[in-house]
Amino acid sequence: MYDRILLPTDGSEGVDRAVTHAIDAANRYDAELHVLFVVDSGVVNAYPGDEFVHEFEGVEQTLEDVGHEAVDRVREAAADAGVEDVVTAVTHGEPHEEILRYIDEEDVDLTVMGTTDRPGEYRRLLGSVTERVARRSSTPVSIVKTTVE
Protein backbone atom coordinates (compact mmCIF):
# COMPACT_ATOMS: atom_id res chain seq x y z
CA MET A 1 0.00 0.00 0.00
CA TYR A 2 2.80 2.44 0.91
CA ASP A 3 6.27 2.22 -0.62
CA ARG A 4 7.78 5.48 0.67
CA ILE A 5 6.88 7.04 4.01
CA LEU A 6 8.11 10.49 5.02
CA LEU A 7 8.69 11.60 8.58
CA PRO A 8 9.55 15.31 8.80
CA THR A 9 11.17 16.02 12.17
CA ASP A 10 12.29 19.06 14.10
CA GLY A 11 14.03 16.92 16.70
CA SER A 12 11.65 17.92 19.49
CA GLU A 13 9.97 15.64 22.00
CA GLY A 14 6.68 16.43 20.30
CA VAL A 15 7.60 14.19 17.38
CA ASP A 16 8.49 11.11 19.47
CA ARG A 17 5.07 9.53 19.00
CA ALA A 18 5.19 10.32 15.28
CA VAL A 19 8.60 8.61 15.03
CA THR A 20 7.16 5.47 16.59
CA HIS A 21 4.13 5.63 14.28
CA ALA A 22 6.27 6.13 11.14
CA ILE A 23 8.64 3.29 12.05
CA ASP A 24 5.68 1.00 12.72
CA ALA A 25 4.13 1.91 9.35
CA ALA A 26 7.44 1.33 7.54
CA ASN A 27 7.68 -2.11 9.17
CA ARG A 28 4.06 -2.97 8.46
CA TYR A 29 4.21 -2.02 4.78
CA ASP A 30 7.87 -2.96 4.22
CA ALA A 31 8.32 0.62 3.06
CA GLU A 32 11.30 2.89 2.64
CA LEU A 33 11.38 5.44 5.47
CA HIS A 34 12.43 8.98 4.59
CA VAL A 35 13.40 11.29 7.44
CA LEU A 36 13.59 15.03 6.71
CA PHE A 37 14.78 17.97 8.78
CA VAL A 38 14.31 21.48 7.37
CA VAL A 39 16.60 24.27 8.54
CA ASP A 40 14.02 27.06 8.76
CA SER A 41 15.22 29.94 6.60
CA GLY A 42 12.98 32.28 8.61
CA VAL A 43 14.98 31.53 11.74
CA VAL A 44 18.34 31.81 10.00
CA ASN A 45 17.41 35.14 8.38
CA ALA A 46 15.80 36.60 11.51
CA TYR A 47 19.00 38.22 12.74
CA PRO A 48 19.33 41.57 10.95
CA GLY A 49 22.22 43.99 10.89
CA ASP A 50 25.96 43.77 11.43
CA GLU A 51 25.69 44.21 15.21
CA PHE A 52 24.16 40.73 15.46
CA VAL A 53 26.53 38.99 13.08
CA HIS A 54 29.18 38.16 15.66
CA GLU A 55 26.65 37.12 18.28
CA PHE A 56 24.75 34.81 15.92
CA GLU A 57 27.55 33.54 13.69
CA GLY A 58 27.10 29.86 13.18
CA VAL A 59 23.33 29.79 13.70
CA GLU A 60 22.82 28.07 10.36
CA GLN A 61 25.55 25.51 11.07
CA THR A 62 24.15 24.88 14.55
CA LEU A 63 20.69 24.24 13.09
CA GLU A 64 22.19 21.92 10.47
CA ASP A 65 23.98 20.01 13.24
CA VAL A 66 20.71 19.71 15.18
CA GLY A 67 19.07 18.43 11.99
CA HIS A 68 21.70 15.78 11.35
CA GLU A 69 21.46 14.62 14.96
CA ALA A 70 17.65 14.45 14.71
CA VAL A 71 17.58 12.38 11.52
CA ASP A 72 20.37 10.12 12.81
CA ARG A 73 18.38 9.40 16.00
CA VAL A 74 15.40 8.35 13.89
CA ARG A 75 17.61 6.22 11.63
CA GLU A 76 19.00 4.44 14.73
CA ALA A 77 15.52 3.90 16.18
CA ALA A 78 14.34 2.53 12.84
CA ALA A 79 17.33 0.16 12.62
CA ASP A 80 16.63 -1.04 16.18
CA ALA A 81 13.06 -1.81 15.07
CA GLY A 82 14.23 -3.69 11.98
CA VAL A 83 13.71 -0.97 9.36
CA GLU A 84 16.88 -0.90 7.30
CA ASP A 85 15.77 1.10 4.27
CA VAL A 86 16.06 4.65 5.67
CA VAL A 87 16.84 7.77 3.65
CA THR A 88 17.74 10.95 5.54
CA ALA A 89 17.94 14.54 4.36
CA VAL A 90 18.61 17.97 5.84
CA THR A 91 17.41 20.84 3.65
CA HIS A 92 17.00 24.61 3.95
CA GLY A 93 13.92 26.73 3.37
CA GLU A 94 10.40 27.37 4.53
CA PRO A 95 9.49 24.12 6.36
CA HIS A 96 6.06 23.44 4.89
CA GLU A 97 7.23 24.30 1.37
CA GLU A 98 10.30 22.07 1.65
CA ILE A 99 8.23 19.18 3.01
CA LEU A 100 5.71 19.49 0.16
CA ARG A 101 8.53 19.71 -2.39
CA TYR A 102 10.14 16.60 -0.89
CA ILE A 103 6.83 14.70 -1.03
CA ASP A 104 6.53 15.44 -4.75
CA GLU A 105 10.17 14.91 -5.71
CA GLU A 106 10.58 11.64 -3.80
CA ASP A 107 7.15 10.28 -4.74
CA VAL A 108 6.16 9.85 -1.08
CA ASP A 109 2.99 7.79 -0.48
CA LEU A 110 2.36 8.72 3.16
CA THR A 111 3.64 11.50 5.41
CA VAL A 112 3.62 11.04 9.18
CA MET A 113 3.83 14.28 11.13
CA GLY A 114 3.85 15.08 14.80
CA THR A 115 2.05 18.05 16.18
CA THR A 116 1.88 19.48 19.65
CA ASP A 117 -1.57 20.38 20.89
CA ARG A 118 -1.17 24.02 21.88
CA PRO A 119 -3.66 26.64 23.05
CA GLY A 120 -5.71 28.37 20.34
CA GLU A 121 -4.02 31.76 20.71
CA TYR A 122 -0.59 30.26 20.17
CA ARG A 123 -1.71 28.35 17.08
CA ARG A 124 -3.48 31.41 15.59
CA LEU A 125 -0.38 33.50 16.08
CA LEU A 126 2.19 31.13 14.63
CA GLY A 127 0.23 28.70 12.51
CA SER A 128 1.29 25.12 12.06
CA VAL A 129 3.62 23.47 9.58
CA THR A 130 1.64 20.26 10.02
CA GLU A 131 -1.64 21.98 9.18
CA ARG A 132 -0.18 23.58 6.06
CA VAL A 133 1.26 20.29 4.83
CA ALA A 134 -1.95 18.38 5.57
CA ARG A 135 -4.03 20.92 3.64
CA ARG A 136 -1.74 21.10 0.62
CA SER A 137 -0.34 17.59 0.24
CA SER A 138 -1.59 15.52 -2.67
CA THR A 139 -0.97 12.32 -0.67
CA PRO A 140 -2.21 11.15 2.76
CA VAL A 141 -0.84 12.81 5.90
CA SER A 142 -1.12 11.04 9.22
CA ILE A 143 -1.05 13.50 12.13
CA VAL A 144 0.13 12.19 15.47
CA LYS A 145 -0.76 14.52 18.34
CA THR A 146 1.21 15.12 21.50
CA THR A 147 -0.28 17.16 24.34
CA VAL A 148 1.82 19.80 26.11
CA GLU A 149 1.48 19.53 29.86
Residue 37, pLDDT > 50, answer yes
Q: What is the pLDDT of residue 127?
A: 56
Q: What is the pLDDT of residue 32?
A: 98
Q: How confident is the model at residue 67 (pLDDT cuts 50, 70, 90)?
A: very high
pLDDT digits (tens, 9 = 90+) for 84-100: 999 999 999 999 999 99
Helix (H) or strand (E) segment spanning residue 95? helix 95-105
Domain spanning 4-147: CATH superfamily: HUPs (3.40.50.620)
Q: How confident is the model at residue 109 (pLDDT cuts 50, 70, 90)?
A: very high
Instruction: Enter the pTM of the model.
Output: 0.86
Torsions phi, psi for 72 (to 5 deg): -65, -40
Could you state, in order of their start, the residue ranges of all structural domains in the chain? Answer: 4-147
End-to-end CA distance of the chain: 36
Distance of alpha carbon 55 from alpha carbon 77, whole angstroms: 35
